[in-house]
Amino acid sequence: MRENLLGPKQGQAVAVETTYSPHVLLRPLPLELVDLADGFWEPRRRINHEVTLPSQYRHLEDTGRLDNFRRASGKIGGEYQGIYFNDSDVYKWLEALAWTLAEGADPELERMVDAAIAEVEDAQRADGYLNTYFTFESAAERWTDFDLHEMYCAGHLFQAAVAHFRATGSERLLDVATRFADHICDTFGPEEGKRHAVDGHEEVEMALVELFRVTGERKYLEGARYFVDARGYGMLGRPYGQHEPSYSQDHEPLRDQSEVVGHAVRALYLYSGAADVFAETGEPALARALERLWRNLTTRRMYVSGGLGSRYEGEAFGRDFELPNERAYTETCAAIASVMWNWRMLALGGEASYADLIEHTLYNAVLPGLSLDGQHYFYQNPLADDGSHRRQPWFGCACCPPNVARFLASLPGYFYGASEGAVWVHLYAEGAATVGLDGNRTVRLRQRTRYPWDGRVEVDVEAEGEFALMLRVPAWCEEGVEIDVNGESVDAGISPGSYANIRRTWRSGDTINLHLPMPVRRVECHPYVAENTGRVALMRGPLLYCVEQADNHDVELRDLVLNDKEPTVRFEPDLLGGVAILQAEARSAPPAAGWEDRLYRTVHPRERDTQTYSTRVTLVPYYTWANREPGAMRVWLRNG
């Protein structure tokens, strides 16, 4: 064990380690101290472990992604296979396996991890460089084209190594990572004699901060700060690359930016890395820029699902209010990146709005990216479709599948937190957590709930002494929130979109009852999003709903107009893995006679009449769509 390894050792698998970060309020929980034993997440995480990870291993072999490492180490010949950043898929998959191993031993997974790490180790160059696309310099020369993702791949290697070390205590992959990080930090930087460059695809920034947190090696933090600082001066993009500098957020220094632009995943990884740098340095200008960007994102450029990225062209954010439904890009990776960024922002000051968006994005933008069988994926997540957009078993550009896998594997780490004298509950699900408090106390919490189907949460406390329990009251829960402790109502300054602060002297056996009413809500959109004018989306609790043809065979979804009557809610245990469906009264209002062969006409008041008939529609949670026979789907429905 090397001398300078800081922070939690093996058995302390935290997804983002902010415990020792000076400018952070919240400390994370190791994911092995959180037990999700619920009917919603536990089955998904089991499928991730038992189905998704082994099937992704087969794809990595079948598509030559692992062979690229064998080729780089001289074990096999042949050409490089696939896209130039395919190494990153192997690293993300390794990260997913590492987090999964934190839950407990699994000899089959360990064998896969060790075999893959051996291939990665063997492919590393003597000077620490590691990228299988650039191994033979006749094909491409390393560090000459920064649009080719060398540092992006490096970042995913670092994150996999950090996860593997935290989950298992093994330094094997960490040794590979630090050798490469040394090479990068010795090659690039502001100092004289070093090269001046940033990567086209951000990722290495947050990875270097985490590597600093594991090793205590300050030059990794300095490297991360340099890569955040150096972006924004037009080193990337035309005339050097295919895109404008804004595609890689290189158009303006981050501290001056106030609009989220360019490739969505790149942008969100940059913001995550910058939040990590802030956590260590506390520079106010950085935090102010991130808050400005977050406001622009959430008030102008985000889908109702929490999905991000409005344009296929450049996989990019659109302009303000540019949010097309059928042509939504909303890459699954962007949703994951949004959770990663919001998690870092939440840690800084415990602001509930970040936790609200984590929950919302998790259910409605990350989850739709994965099929219920755990083997099919969406890259784009439209909010309306004619039935032709289907999940695929894999992609040539396969960033999303292993990203979902690594995220689900680390999910328990996002449920709780701690600060001085306080335990925080960010997310709700049946299960238990063990929280270390103030270095000398242990608090055990057990949640009993059917969340997200029911908003009643019972929390059993096993602890002695005074501390605050911070329970998130979601912003969607606009009325009727109730909290009692041992049957006595508490006034904890409850307001939606904040944490209820219950400070008292706790005794083991104390029980909190939290009631978050879940009426069906009709959500409307800012009128400047023309496509959604006169329409509503239905939500219940944290879940966004949609209509899908599979439940509504005899109706053209585009003709549906919801009535004012309150939809009914019914839990269907055998449908789509068990879901609460909504049933709403509606009418079908097809275009009036005369529209058959024209697209436009002059308005004459009497021609507005249309034949309508009453119908009833069934809505299912949006994350479940496209898991049955192909058919149309819509989130936004006419109303009134």
Binders of Zn ion among 475-494, rule CB under 5 A?
A: none
Considering the complex, state which of residue 403 and residue 532 has its C-beta at the smaller distance from Zn ion: 403
Give how many residues touch Zn ion by CB under 5 A: 4
**Which one, 89 or 250, has the nearer CB to Zn ion?**
89
Quote the tokens at residue 611. 């034949």
Task: Give the list of residues 6+ apart from residue 75 with CB closer than 8 angstroms, or none.
Answer: 122
- The stretch near Zn ion (CB under 5 A) out of 202-210, 399-407, 462-470, 473-481 is 399-407
Q: Which residue, 433, 333, 362, 458, is CA-closest to 31? A: 433
Q: Which residue minimizes CB distance to Zn ion?
A: 333
**366 binding Zn ion? (CB under 5 A):** no
Longest CA span, the chain = 84
Give the Cβ contact number of residue 46 at 10 Å. Answer: 12
**Phi and psi of 33, rounded to 5°?**
-95, 5
CB 380 within 8 A of CB 389: yes
Does the protein bind Zn ion through residue 400 (CB under 5 A)? yes
Is 315 one of the annotated active-site residues of the chain?
yes
Q: Which of residues 441-480 bind Zn ion (CB under 5 A)?
A: none
Min dist CB 242 to Zn ion, Å, is: 19
Q: Is 336 in the site for Zn ion (CB under 5 A)?
A: no
Stretch that binds Zn ion, among 368-376, 393-401, 461-469, 616-624 (CB under 5 A): 393-401
Nearer to Zn ion, 290 or 400 (CB): 400
Q: Which candidate in 153, 399, 477, 546 is catalytic?
A: 399
CB 296 within 8 A of CB 260: yes
399 flagged as catalytic: yes
Considering only residues 372 through 391, tell me which ones interact with Zn ion, judged by CB under 5 A.
none
Residue nearer to Zn ion on the CB measure, 369 or 452: 369
The window from 137-145, 343-351, 400-408, 563-571 that contacts Zn ion (CB under 5 A) reads 400-408
- Phi-psi map region of 544: left, alpha, beta (phi>0 left; psi -120 to 50 alpha): beta
How long, in residues, is the chain? Answer: 640
Q: Does 333 bind Zn ion (CB under 5 A)?
A: yes
Contacts of 461 (CB under 8 A, 6+ apart): 443, 444, 445, 469, 506, 508, 509, 510, 511, 512
Q: Which is nearer to Zn ion, 402 or 474 (CB)?
A: 402
Q: From CA 493, how far away is CA 486, in angstroms rounded?
A: 18
Which is catalytic among the residues 17, 103, 171, 315?
315
**Distance between CA atoms of residues 204 and 141, nearest Å:** 20
Q: Assess 337 for contact with Zn ion (CB under 5 A).
A: no
Q: Which stretch binds Zn ion (CB under 5 A): 25-33, 213-221, 333-341, 613-621?
A: 333-341
Q: Are 306 and 297 in contact (CB under 8 A)?
A: no
> Binding residue for Zn ion (CB under 5 A) from 399, 425, 500, 514?
399
Window of 176-184, 332-340, 413-421, 497-505 that interacts with Zn ion by CB under 5 A: 332-340
How many other C-beta atoms lie within 10 A of the C-beta of residue 117?
20
- Residues contributing to the site for Zn ion (CB under 5 A): 331, 333, 399-400
Residues labelled as active-site residues: 315, 399
